[in-house]
Amino acid sequence: MPDKFDHFTRSKIMSKIKHKDTTPELSLRKELCKHGLRYYRLHYDLPGKPDVVFVSKKIVIFTDGDFWHGYNWKILGKVPPKKYWQEKIQRTIQRDKKYTRQLTKKGWSVLRFWEHEIKESPRDVISRIKTTIRTPNSPRD
């Protein structure tokens, strides 16, 4: 079934959706500050536009929305009924993998956190970030 909006209207609607300073991103930054992790940059110019970057440690952090980035969308039965959205989410998943590969090749440690992880277990998220910061040549996701 085709989209009920023409391309121009759909594009205008989609442009209104926040892509920076989202709720999960703000929550993560609040937790980082609470734990004394302040020496980071926001929206640093790297592939994928990471949400948080620890430049001196070469660590990038992405906060991925569960719906938009396809968190277990097929397993959880959260596949949107419209083919347009299925294809859009699938492209986002592929793009995320591409950016992770590019950054890893350039020597960056890449951490990706799902929206629900930041909300439900911020301590675990911070713990993982701290471990990555402390570990030289830390493993990449």
Query: Mapping DSSP to helix (H, G, I), strand (E, B) and coil, where does residue 118 land?
Result: helix
Q: Among candidates 58, 118, 66, 42, which has minimal Cα distance to 50?
A: 42
87-130, pLDDT tens digit by residue?
888 899 999 999 999 999 999 999 999 999 999 999 999 999 99
141 Cβ neighbours under 8 A, 6+ residues apart: 100, 110, 111, 112
| Residues 100 and 47 sit within 8 Å (Cβ to Cβ) | no
Mean pLDDT of 48-59: 93
The structure's pTM equals 0.79
31-45, pLDDT tens digit by residue?
999 999 987 887 678
CATH fold for domain 19-134? Endonuclease; Chain A (3.40.960)
Q: Sketch the domain layout of the chain as residue ranges.
A: 19-134
- Distance, in Å, from the CA atom of 36 to the CA atom of 50, rounded to the nearest integer, reads 20
Degrees (nearest 5) of the Cα angle 127, 130, 72?
50
More confident site: 61 or 69 = 61
48 Cβ neighbours under 8 A, 6+ residues apart: 60, 62, 95, 96, 99, 100, 102, 103
* CA quadruple 16, 19, 23, 29: dihedral sign: negative
